[in-house]
Structure 1
Amino acid sequence: MDATEPVQPSLNSSYVPTALSNQLTSEDEESEDQGPTTSLLPKHSSVPLAVRYSPEDSYCFVYIIFFLMGIGSLLPWNFFITAKHYWLYKLSNNSHSSGSGEEERSDLSDYFESYLAIASTVPSVLCLILNYLLVNRLSSNVRILSSLVVILLVFVVTTVLVKVDVSDCRTEFFIGTLVSVAVVSGASNLFCGSVFGISGHFPMRISQALISGQAMGGTLSAIASILDLAVAKDVTDSALAYFLTADVFILLCIITYLLLPKLAYSRHYMLAATCTSSGVMSEGGGSRVSVPPLQPILRKTWVLGLSVFYVFCVSIMVFPAVSSGIQSVDKDSGSPWTTTYFVPLTSFLLYNVADFCGRQTTAWLQVPGPTSRVLPVLVLCRSVMVPLIMFCNYQPRDHLHTVLFGQDVYPVVFNCLLGLTNGYLGTLPMIYGPKVVPRELAEATGVVMSFFLTLGLAVGSAFSVLIVHCI
């Protein structure tokens, strides 16, 4: 035996691999102290010694990689919805010129964001169902890398089209954009569900890093949009730099994911997950179930899943379709703050920064707990955000002419509250889900929780179209 290798425990002692014991709930930990845990693991002689000891995450490399994966999972969606000025320019009735003047209204530009939300969320639900069916059929590497490649190809095409004149074929450009969004969103959710699934095998800090990264993706896209508006003299130049930034970052996600198996910390937990699966296979007669059982997952997580569903349903009802249509009451002053930068700052940047803060808070504060009845009550209380944002200075108002909150401070406060509560109340059930089920179901549970999230986005996006039409 190598002198540096830890002393092997005696054969008559019981243990649980560290990679798995770190994910136990408090009840599981108590039962572990009282006796051997044998229901989910094979005998200790069949588990490699390497999984019994947890290496350190040197320089937090694995944490950073999962944080980057979180950014990459929602970056495509955020880049599409944040480029509001570009889409208005491309779909308006006077897009022959790229000046800074007012764009003539058209049905395509008025309702683009609502249809964008539908085109992105409906295929996402279907892809997450597919992801659940494939979780035991295709390796996570195949699902993650193939989805990233698809996203990169679509974004390269979108980048090329920035400099193409579509003034004579706006309808075709509109349909093509929605198709691109559908493909990208489906691939993004396949990627997101797969990454969140494998994060379920890691300690909770890794799942939290992934979810915080998703919020940072929105923040970075909002900052990139504002910088492009400030630096670029032409809306197409701004969009070109904007989408090139997305291309580079998606490529970075591919590179960093390929580095993940080379790190000892991540190899350790992935090996522990493999050992758990091997134990289940041996207990089940030597053959692995092709589709994970859904009933035991839902029995443990249905309240958490519905909480995730409703949090994101409420958020997507008003963001970005309604919140990005709120204009400054001083817009006629001609100031860049009230014209060019008001929507990118108050709608996109503030929301995403608040969302990131809410998600990051869960790293230090995890209250209420997974079984608390307070959590769903707080989730239901967010319903009040919908009428609050609807009655801000959203323009144009064709039916609902009343504006109750006519000062610029109101959308600032409401968007911050919307983002903060979305981040905190949306993250808690997401990180609780894979931890309240048996360890061999952690990856499948991560996919199921992602399904609830995306289903909430799909339903909320349908209501957002109705809200925009009603206003």
Structure 2
Amino acid sequence: QKPSDHFHGAYTIFFLLGIGSLLPWNFFITAKHYWMYKLQNCSDQADPTGQAVSDLRDFFESYISIASTVPSVLCLVGNFLLVNRVTASVRILSSLFLMLAVFLVITVLVKVDTSTWTTNFFALTIICVVVVSSASTVFSSSIFGLSSCFPMKNLQALISGQAMGGTISAIASLIDLAAAPNVTDSALAYFFTADIFIIICIMVYLLLPRLEYSSQKENPSLATVPPDSSAENEAEPEGTPNTSFLAKSTGIPPLRPILQKTALLGFCLFYVFFISIIIFPSLSSNIESVSKSSGSLWSTKYFAPLTSFLLYNFADWCGRQITAWIQVPGPKSKLLPALVLLRTIFLPLFILSNYQPRAHIWTVVFNQDIYPVVFTALLGLSNGYLGTLVMVYGPKIVPKELAEAAGVVMTFYLMLGLAVGSSCSILIVHLV
């Protein structure tokens, strides 16, 4: 008799690893008050250098998006080439330790006075973003490929955990913002929370191979963490080996059959995140309350953290959770790409909300606070639901021996959408 997942141990581990896979990105973009504080001293300067740094401050989210996504595409290519040559344990643990090291540096810099070298601090921050995002990409694509070899519920746990990571970072930011007496104390507690959680991810990953549930069959890409059989094979006789997991290959996985099987799903995944990254956080976090002049805490201090970061991430998590019960449309349905393309309408909706500062498009059509709240909720919900459907479908429509490689390819489509979208976000922000 095959072992069951006692106390949902494997499910919980994949959920926690999902949180950790996007935690660095979420902690970077959610700490907007801290980055604005670190870059504020030069925004009042009148010389060209001061104006340049002011521009860095105004378009900080767009620069962060580019720095985190473009290098990640290259890392995904490397991860695909190494998927059968370097064990998943090596790739996952090395990327986690690298993320931890860089985040410790960021935590230390919180209390360092950078007012005399703001531009250099910005450059150092961008370098940290590049390194952390590259490591995070290797980690997330590797753990996604690994989860593809487990039953689908573990894959859904991983994807749901990714959205919960954004919600946790937004909640942590709000708590620190409300409780800490100043920005630096808030940021110190905030980034220290990220350090602790990365350590937790390392610990739970090391626990995974010790579970009886995950120790029955040997996965060639993971020397110490073999996956259970997929749900489709649960009817196999007990003594029948799963040869797709036992047949070890050290070469590069065949790319053509994976691309042929996942082409439409890949486009859908690309476009879902292309639209999302253009809007969030570059556009959505700069939408101000129409009653900001009142000076209330809601309209000044908490409007963007609540209506942009927390609401989007929570809605994204809800969308991903829904896929555990509802999985329509199917992977071959024409309705799926139609729904994905329909999300383009979010662009004019956010542009015509109270985005500030505006340089070219002066018209604000949606001049009530409720509008960006509804738009953000729908953006996050559709991103979570449609993105998760496509991610889950991808590795399941290829032969099982290609499931892990297909997981890496699907992550490549996702990161390509983020990279292209983040580049376009700067153009959109400048046009507004």
**Counterpart for residue 222 of structure 2:** none
Q: Which runs of 5+ in 1 are unaligned?
A: 1-52, 97-103, 282-287
Kept in 1, the 8 Å contact 2:95–2:139? The answer is yes
Distance 1:105 1:291, change over 3 A: closer
Instruction: Confirm or deny that 1:160 pairs with 2:108.
Output: yes
Give the alignment partner of residue 109 of structure 1, picking from 41, 47, 57.
Answer: 57
Which residue of 1 is the match for residue 263 of structure 2? 302
**1:127 partnered with 2:88:** no
SS at match of 1:260: helix
d(CA) in 1 for partners of 2:245, 2:334: 36
Aligned-residue offset at 1:54: 2.6
The Cα shift of 1:327 comes to: 0.4
Match of 2:211 among 251, 255, 263: 263
1:151·1:187 contact (CA, 8 Å) conserved in 2? yes
* Match of residue 85 from structure 2: 137
1:328 aligns with 2:289: yes
Task: Please say which structure displays the higher CA radius of gyration.
Answer: 1
Distance 1:267 1:330 in 2: 58
Q: What is the deviation of 1:266?
A: 1.6
Contact 1:276 1:439 in 2 (8 A): no
Cα distance, 1:276 vs. partner? Answer: 3.0
Q: 1:293 to 1:340 in 2, by over 3 A?
A: same
Which residue pairs with 2:156 in the alignment?
Answer: 208
Distance 1:451 1:172, change over 3 A: same
Shift of 1:355: 0.1
1:318: how far off? 0.7
- Structure 1 counterpart of 2:13: 65
Q: TM-score, normalised by structure 1?
A: 0.84
- Corresponding residue of 2:403: 442
Tell me which amino acid in the other structure corresponds to 1:394: Y
1:45-444 superposed matches below 5 A: 53-93=1-41, 106-268=54-216, 270=226, 275-277=242-244, 280=247, 288-444=249-405
Aligned length: 406
User: How far off is 1:108 after superposition?
Assistant: 1.6
- Code of the residue aligned with 1:151 in structure 2: it is M
Kindly indicate whether the alpha-carbon contact (under 8 Å) linking 2:315 and 2:378 is maintained by their aligned counterparts in 1.
yes
Moved over 4 A (4+): 271-275, 277-281
What is the deviation of 1:371?
Answer: 1.2
Give SS of 2:365's match: coil
Structure 2, unmatched stretches of 5+, are: 45-51, 218-225, 230-240
Contact map agreement 1:95 1:167 (CA 8 A) in 2: no
Matched letter for residue 211 of structure 1: I
In the TM superposition, residue 390 of structure 1 has moved relative to its aligned partner by 1.1
Amino acid at match of 2:205: Y
The answer on whether the counterparts of 2:285 and 2:304 sit within 8 Å (CA) in structure 1 is yes
Counterparts of 2:56 and 2:114 in 1: how far apart (Å)? 13
Give the drift of 1:174.
0.6
- Among the aligned pairs, what percent are the same residue? 64
Change (3 A) 1:248 1:279: closer
CA distance in 2, matches of 1:221, 1:106: 26
Aligned to 1:406, the other structure's residue is in SS state coil
3-state DSSP class of the match of 1:66?
helix
How far apart are residue 92 of structure 1 and its match? Answer: 1.3
Cα shift readout 1:65-86 (whole Å, capped 9, x = no counterpart): 0000100000000000000000
Match of 2:298, as an amino acid? W
User: After superposition, where does 1:26-37 map in structure 2 within 5 Å?
Assistant: none
The one-character-per-residue Cα deviations of 1:403-437 (angstroms, maximum 9, x if unpaired) are 11111001100000000000000000101111111
8 Å CA contact 1:124–1:185 kept in 2: the answer is: yes
Equivalent-residue separation in structure 2 for 1:140 and 1:113 (angstroms)? 32
Residue type of the alignment partner of 1:384: I
**So what's the TM-score if we normalise by structure 2?**
0.92
CA-CA distance at 1:93 after TM superposition: 2.4
Name the CA distance, whole Å, in 2 between partners of 1:417 and 1:363: 19
Structure 2 contact 71–134 (Cα < 8 Å) conserved: yes
Deviation at 1:180, TM superposition (A): 0.4
Query: Distance in 2 between the 1:95 and 1:150 partners?
Result: 33
Kindly state the Cα deviation for residue 278 of structure 1 after the two structures are TM-superposed: 6.2
**Partners of 2:412 and 2:110 in 1: how far apart?**
32
Residues 1:451 and 2:415 aligned together: no
> What RMSD over aligned residues (CA atoms) do the two structures have, in Å?
1.6
Q: Secondary structure at the match of 1:106?
A: helix
